[in-house]
Amino acid sequence: MHKIIVLNAKGGSGKTTISTNLAACYAAKGRFPALLDYDPQGSALNWLRTRSTDMPKIHGVEAHKKNMTVTRSWQMRMPKEVDRVIIDTPASIGGADLADYVRQADTIIVPVLPSPIDIHTVTSFIKEILVLGKLKTGPNAKRLGVVANRVKENTRVYNTLQAFLAGLNLPFITALRDSQYYIHAFVEGIGIHELRDVRVNSLTQQWQPLLDWIDEEITAPPQVASHRALDMVLD
Ligand SMILES: Nc1ncnc2c1ncn2[C@@H]1O[C@H](COP(=O)(O)OP(=O)(O)OP(=O)(O)O)[C@@H](O)[C@H]1O
Ligand SMILES: [Mg+2]
């Protein structure tokens, strides 16, 4: 059971959008994903409640209500058929909570918006994750990938974001375009992969690098993060 956590302390970066679309995408591909909602706002589970019972199943866990820490208790609560666990987290996390999330996750996705404020705040956030996750050390190093969200290509701020991510030498997995289709899909309890409209093809293609990267993480041995990159980040 592979645990994928979507983290960014900054509100509104796309954690819930990425979590719900990833869950829906796996379900549409015949997997049985679980969606854990650690955000007291409960947006991810609200989305799941609106999902038609005809759609491929996603197991939902209202994790924020259970007064449980991020422990292996989540595994015990899972149906055994669940093969991917996607964890949506609240904004403003840090400290012990963040350490718990990072400790339990196999794969960490950090969505970031191409805005100067978000680029600035994500730097210290990623630094905190790298320290907590001890990504420098050995075969248990966890992988962290950055996904740019709500991108408008060829804007100056997107170019700044690309340069920033290249400078960190952390995996920049993909860029997801800003599109109303994400909002349409959300209100229907589906993901963009499940929208029946050829115009979403260019959007779903942007997810393929993320799906491939997660699969690599599952099938290939974990890689040791680049020391040069970490030294730069931790400066
Ligand atoms: N790629 C996108 N295109 C268009 N709208 C988007 C996209 N990604 C997210 N949004 C919209 O941006 C808003 C914030 O997204 P979302 O709720 O996923 O962020 P979040 O990080 O979960 O926020 P919070 O920290 O409050 O939980 C939502 O209204 C969502 O519909
Ligand atoms: Mg959210």
Q: According to the model, what pLDDT value does residue 65 have?
A: 78
Q: According to the model, what pLDDT value does residue 27 have?
A: 98
Q: According to the model, what pLDDT value does residue 3 have?
A: 94
All structural domains of the chain, each given as residue ranges with its CATH number in brackets, are 2-234 (3.40.50.300)
76-96 pLDDT tens trace = 568 999 999 999 999 988 888
Is the beta carbon of 11 within 6 A of some atom in ligand 1? yes
Closest ligand 1 atom to 19 CA: 18
**Confidence class of residue 134 from pLDDT cuts 50, 70 and 90?**
low
Q: According to the model, what pLDDT value does residue 124 have?
A: 86
CA of 58 to the centre of ligand 1 (A): 20
Token code pair at residue 98: 């963040």
Token code pair at residue 51: 């999902």
Is the beta carbon of 47 within 6 A of some atom in ligand 1? no
36-74 pLDDT tens trace = 999 999 999 999 999 999 999 999 999 887 655 555 565
143-186 pLDDT tens trace = 888 999 999 978 888 888 888 877 776 788 999 999 999 999 99
Alpha carbon distances (Å) from 41 to 67, 144, 198: 15, 25, 33
**Confidence class of residue 142 from pLDDT cuts 50, 70 and 90?**
low
Q: According to the model, what pLDDT value does residue 179 have?
A: 97
Which residue matches tokens 């994790």?
Answer: 63
Calculate the average pLDDT of the chain.
85
Is the beta carbon of 10 within 6 A of some atom in ligand 1? no
Residues 39-48: contacts with CB under 8 Å, at least 24 apart: 39/15, 39/64, 39/88, 39/89, 39/90, 39/91, 40/64, 40/90, 41/90, 43/16, 43/88, 44/16, 44/19, 44/20, 44/88, 47/16, 47/20, 47/186, 47/189, 48/20, 48/23, 48/189
Give the global pTM.
0.89
**Confidence class of residue 135 from pLDDT cuts 50, 70 and 90?**
low
Partners of 85 in beta bridges? 3, 34
Say how far apart CA 81 and CA 34 lie, in whole Å. Answer: 10
